[in-house]
């Protein structure tokens, strides 16, 4: 064994993007956590995998050692750093792919727009989108839960937040969902990417248009008018904000809500309990976020030699922080592999930990609650059919469903003031 391999303790055959991992991840993580809590795999150019709660939190909190900073050269396509393994040849997301002190500036600039009060103020609109989407199908008794409900509600909420026209919700929702599960070699991949690029083009157009209008309530208007650090937001920064907000917020909330609805269908006693005790919903929500951990894991870049749980990490190494593995660590959670909708306290880290912790978590919580409420009230006897549905073939970034055929007793439309 050469010295390089001596250093990379605990070599394992592991790839968070593989199909084996997608179908077998709880077992793979259980084994790693016990035997090799910080393990080394040669896949994707080599990276560490951290699976213990304590280690994942420590690394996420030590942002000086474990950097998120990314560079991308559009001419050569060369990428360094960032939070995805493998690295993606697109411009960085902000604030997520920045380090202090720049991160402070970006995050402070955005915080107010995502704080609990700002998220709460959007609740009525989220309800309206959910009710209007259900109106489209309520008389038929059938819905593809993912493509007609749990996907579009976050997409429309995000569009409204950004200031993009709601009529384009289909053009917005579809590529953002397809992008997450379409393999790069698939024939339809270029079409999906073109759809995503179109969304960013709409952001650029709207950003420039907002500059000619008075300051409004939407984010693109905020970016066009509100100075950052005493100067105007650049087009590049604006796109990086949009990238982070759109990709961070849309398919994640979709996955969470779909998983929860499937789970409740399979566990009628829990479903009944939630119907009888609606006050339990926020507690159950956190348990669903823990158990399903929509963002499976994200990467960091080691900026100095450091030892972590026995692993000698070197400057320049990459490490995958498996939020999903940490959230099932038996040292922290009793009976971690089962859902307990009344589990409390619940210190899961599905929204991350340390300074990059999800800025959109309050928005996500509002969207989840409103979608659940609308389903439980208007189609209470819904039946999901996971046997006819497709899972993502890779869960490495987002763990979700491609579609979810669902049936229910037809019901009446209700007035929402919005026809879709």
Residues 6+ apart with CB under 8 A from 355: 61, 63, 100, 103, 107
Residue 417 binding other proteins, by CB under 8 A: no
Query: Per CB under 6 A, does 95 bind ligand HEM?
Result: yes
* 279 counts as binding other proteins under rule CB under 8 A: no
- Minimum CB separation from ligand HEM for residue 351, in Å? 5
Sheet architecture: strand order including 405-407: 142-144, 405-407, 383-384
Of residues 38, 145, 245, 339, which one binds ligand HEM by CB under 6 A?
245
For ligand HEM, the binding residue among 143, 238, 364, 395 (CB under 6 A) is: 364
Q: CA 216, CA 113: separation in Å to the nearest integer?
A: 13
Binders of other proteins among residues 112 to 131 (CB under 8 A) are: 112, 114-118
323 binds, among other proteins, ligand HEM, none (CB under 5 to 8 A by kind): ligand HEM
Minimum distance from residue 364 beta carbon to ligand HEM (Å):
4
286 sits near other proteins (criterion: CB under 8 A): yes
For 348, other C-beta atoms within 10 Å of its C-beta total: 22
SS3 content of the chain, % helix, strand, coil (to 5): 50, 10, 40
The answer to whether residue 108 forms part of the interface with other proteins (CB under 8 A) is yes
Q: In the block, which residue shows the tokens 């976020």?
A: 289
User: Which partner from the list other proteins, ligand HEM, none does 249 bind, CB cut-off 5 to 8 Å by kind?
Assistant: ligand HEM
Using the rule CB under 6 A, is 372 a contact of ligand HEM? no
348 is a contact residue toward other proteins (CB under 8 A)? yes
Does the protein bind ligand HEM through residue 371 (CB under 6 A)? no
303 sits near ligand HEM (criterion: CB under 6 A):
no
- Of 355 and 420, the one with the shorter C-beta distance to other proteins is 355
CA-closest candidate to residue 199, choices 253, 157, 155, 237: 155
| Site stretch for ligand HEM (CB under 6 A), options 44-52, 199-207, 225-233, 354-362 | 354-362
Question: In the numeric block, which tokens belong to residue 395?
Answer: 């869960």
- The token pair at 111 is 């915080």
Distance CA 367, CA 32 (A): 34
Find which of other proteins, ligand HEM, none residue 116 binds, CB within 5 to 8 Å per kind. other proteins
What is d(CA 293, CA 124) in angstroms, rounded to the nearest whole number? 26
In sign, the C-alpha dihedral spanning 361, 363, 366, 371 is: negative
Contact (CB, 8 A) for 122 and 363: yes
Question: Which residues of the chain form contacts with other proteins (CB under 8 A)?
Answer: 57, 61, 108, 111-112, 114-118, 282-283, 286, 344-349, 351, 353-355, 357, 359, 361-362
């Amino acid at each position: 064994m050469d010295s390089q391999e001596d250093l990379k303790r605990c070599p394992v055959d592991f790839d968070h993007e593989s199909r084996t991992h997608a179908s077998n991840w709880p077992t793979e993580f259980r084994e790693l956590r016990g035997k090799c809590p910080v393990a080394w795999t040669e896949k994707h150019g080599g990276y560490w995998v951290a699976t213990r709660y304590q280690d994942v939190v420590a690394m996420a909190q030590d942002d000086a050692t474990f950097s998120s900073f990314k560079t991308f050269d559009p001419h050569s396509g060369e990428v360094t750093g960032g939070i995805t393994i493998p690295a993606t040849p697109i411009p960085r997301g902000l604030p997520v792919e920045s380090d202090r002190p720049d991160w402070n500036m970006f995050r402070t600039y955005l915080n107010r727009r995502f704080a609990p009060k700002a998220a709460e103020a959007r609740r009525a609109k989220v309800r309206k989108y959910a009710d209007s989407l259900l109106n489209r199908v309520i008389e038929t008794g059938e819905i593809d839960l993912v493509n007609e409900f749990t996907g579009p509600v976050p997409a429309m909420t995000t569009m409204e937040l950004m200031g993009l026209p709601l009529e384009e919700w289909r053009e917005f929702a579809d590529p953002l969902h397809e992008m997450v599960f379409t393999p790069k070699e698939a024939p339809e991949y270029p079409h999906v990417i073109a759809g995503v690029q179109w969304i960013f083009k709409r952001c650029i157009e709207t950003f420039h248009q907002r500059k000619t209008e008075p300051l409004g309530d939407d984010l693109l208007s905020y970016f066009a008018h509100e100075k950052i650090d005493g100067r105007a937001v650049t087009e590049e920064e604006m796109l990086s904000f949009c990238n982070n907000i759109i990709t961070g917020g849309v398919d994640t909330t979709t996955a969470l809500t779909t998983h929860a609805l499937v789970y409740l269908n399979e566990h009628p006693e829990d479903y009944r309990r939630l119907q009888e005790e609606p006050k339990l919903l926020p507690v159950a929500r956190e348990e669903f976020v823990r158990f399903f951990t929509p963002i499976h894991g994200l990467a960091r870049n080691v900026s100095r030699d450091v030892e972590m749980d026995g692993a000698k990490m070197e400057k320049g190494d990459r490490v995958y922080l498996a939020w999903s593995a940490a959230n099932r660590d038996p040292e922290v959670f009793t009976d971690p592999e089962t859902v307990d909708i009344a589990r409390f306290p619940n210190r899961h880290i599905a929204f991350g930990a340390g300074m990059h912790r999800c800025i959109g978590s309050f928005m996500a919580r509002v969207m989840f609650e409103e979608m659940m409420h609308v389903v439980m009230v208007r189609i209470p006897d819904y039946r999901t059919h996971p046997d006819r549905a497709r899972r993502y073939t890779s869960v490495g970034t987002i763990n979700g469903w491609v579609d979810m055929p669902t049936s229910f007793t037809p019901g009446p439309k209700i007035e929402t003031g919005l026809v879709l």
